[in-house]
Structure 1
Amino acid sequence: MRRAERLHAISESLRRSGIRGISADRLAAEFGVSVRTIKRDIDALENSGAPVWARPGPGGGYGLAAGSTLPPVTLSPTQAVALMAAVSAAADAPYADLANAGVRKIIDVLDPLTRSRAEALADRVWVNTESPVSRATGSALEAAMAEQKVVRIDYVAASGDATTRDVEPVLFASTNGQWYLVGWCRLRDAMRWFKLSRITRASVTTLDCTGHTVAEVGEPPAGARPVHDGARISPDQR
């Protein structure tokens, strides 16, 4: 990992540590460098204007001042292409359109030389993906999840049986190359996993969800993971 990338990663670790902070020893172990290197990196962040605080003594460490923002960090061309490739290869993922727009904003604010190099490198990365879900259906599912509204879906099971169900969306999950809507099915009065490619139609109702949580999905065996912390979950067989 280059130093600029490590500085950005360290700043993110400091931000996530909150008021507890994080020790130099833990940062050194996380990034595979010496404690002396971490302290030099912390000094560099402070000199760049990052509001780093330090708490000395046993149990001490480093953190960022509450409510602070970090100075902008410029992406390398390869980092920019990594973002473009990841988003382009996940065209079937929920909120893919918004992710693509977000990456485009990042690319647009890069300095001209970095942007030019990133776009030249991006020409050497090809993807060929299609979403099995129509844009209208995907938008309805995404809106229902974000607004926590009941969504009415037309669903075709593996057996070929077609049903219309009202579902309280709880989470989206990807496992074994397939995306699922996981939610409380009011038809079955139970938590169910619905493969997105089998949802032929979806519409957001005016009904509020009743508060079903991710914990109700069950113990998470290996297979999928929340994007924020790497915990793993996978769908039960229906």
Structure 2
Amino acid sequence: MNRTARLYALVEELRAAAPRPLTVAVLAARFEVNTRTVQRDLQALLEAGVPVRTTVGRGGGWSIDPEMTLPPIRFTADEASALVVALAAAGASVPYAGAARTAAQKIAASITGSAAVAAQELAARIVTLPSPSDSTVRAAVEQALTTNMVLRLSYIDATGRESDRVVEPAGLLTADGRWYLIAWCHTRQAGRGFRLDRITAAAPTDAQAQPHDLTELLLGSAAAGAVQPTVLASLAPPPRKRKATPR
């Protein structure tokens, strides 16, 4: 068993035993390696962000939080290739690119067999031209969306005019390879779209944003017909029912 496969199997062994901890000696016997190798593997998992932990003393050992890890996933060759293409499209300029990169590393470590071969062969045949991106701006937008905080930004519109805006983020729109922050603009007192590559500066404030319906903010705009990508439908919560207005 190579190291990548062993690391994956090690996680699953800890998942199966959770919440009971396993000692290094038990794990070494299970994978037929020495204890020093297991210690290095566990340290590598820890550094990669896998939620493994160790407890000392009688009854101690290594354990994992099963709620923070995925169960085994078996990809077909086509599914693995599709993931490669999707991750290649998630370049440095797209939102949450950093998290996508670390997720890709975890997925890659879990793919084995013919699926792994297909993914590796396709990955070697995909190239991209790097595009400039402001990681500070992107990080501020990501944080504002995740924490529902009001965002202060500087923006250059299509005519080249720069303005300062205070906005309440509602969501993200992607169209023709570009990303837009859809938000309620305090200056315009209306919903507006801000192309991410035209935001020159962004900083979160201490104010909590009010909830805004993304579909309603897009009404009357060129993106009024935007729909949720089919692939994300299973991840999103069901739509909230509107309260009936008494007559």
Match of 1:228 among 208, 217, 232: 232
Cα distance 1:176–1:120, how it changes in 2: closer, same or farther (>3 A)?
closer
CA contact under 8 A between 1:153 and 1:166: conserved in structure 2? yes
CA contact under 8 A between 1:168 and 1:185: conserved in structure 2? yes
Letter in 1 for 2:99: L
- The residue aligned with 1:204 is 204
Measured in 2, the distance between the counterparts of 1:143 and 1:98 equals: 12
Measured in 1, the distance between the counterparts of 2:141 and 2:204 equals: 7
TM norm structure 2: 0.58
Deviations 1:27-61 (A, max 9, x none): xxxxxxxxxxxxxxxxxxxxxxxxxxxxxxxxxxx
> How much does 1:229 deviate?
3.2
CA contact under 8 A between 1:183 and 1:193: conserved in structure 2? yes
Letter in 1 for 2:96: Y
Q: Highest Rg: 1 or 2? A: 2
Q: Any runs of at least 4 consecutive aligned residues in structure 1 with deviations exceeding 3 A, and if so which? A: 218-227
Measured in 2, the distance between the counterparts of 1:133 and 1:221 equals: 27
CA contact under 8 A between 1:87 and 1:96: conserved in structure 2? no
> How much does 1:208 deviate?
0.4
- Which aligned pairs between 1:12-27 and structure 2 lie closer than 5 A? none
Measured in 1, the distance between the counterparts of 2:166 and 2:129 equals: 33
Deviations 1:135-179 (A, max 9, x none): 111011011001000111110111221111111000110112221
Measured in 2, the distance between the counterparts of 1:114 and 1:80 equals: 6
TM norm structure 1: 0.60
CA contact under 8 A between 2:155 and 2:198: conserved in structure 1? yes
- Which aligned pairs between 1:147-166 and structure 2 lie closer than 5 A? 147-166=147-166
> How much does 1:192 deviate?
0.6
Letter in 2 for 1:126: V
Measured in 1, the distance between the counterparts of 2:215 and 2:82 equals: 32
> Secondary structure, in 3 states, of the residue corresponding to 1:139?
helix
> How much does 1:76 deviate?
2.6
Letter in 2 for 1:228: L
- The residue aligned with 2:238 is none
Aligned-pair identity in percent equals 33
Measured in 2, the distance between the counterparts of 1:144 and 1:150 equals: 7
Q: State the Cα RMSD in Å.
A: 2.7
> How much does 1:217 deviate?
1.3
Cα distance 1:157–1:121, how it changes in 2: closer, same or farther (>3 A)?
closer
Measured in 2, the distance between the counterparts of 1:178 and 1:113 equals: 34
Cα distance 1:172–1:126, how it changes in 2: closer, same or farther (>3 A)?
same
> Secondary structure, in 3 states, of the residue corresponding to 1:159?
coil
Question: Unpaired segments of 5 or more residues in structure 2?
Answer: 1-68, 235-247
- The residue aligned with 1:182 is 182
- The residue aligned with 1:136 is 136
> How much does 1:116 deviate?
4.4
Deviations 1:92-138 (A, max 9, x none): 321122122112201112236643452233212223342x5311110
Measured in 1, the distance between the counterparts of 2:77 and 2:173 equals: 30
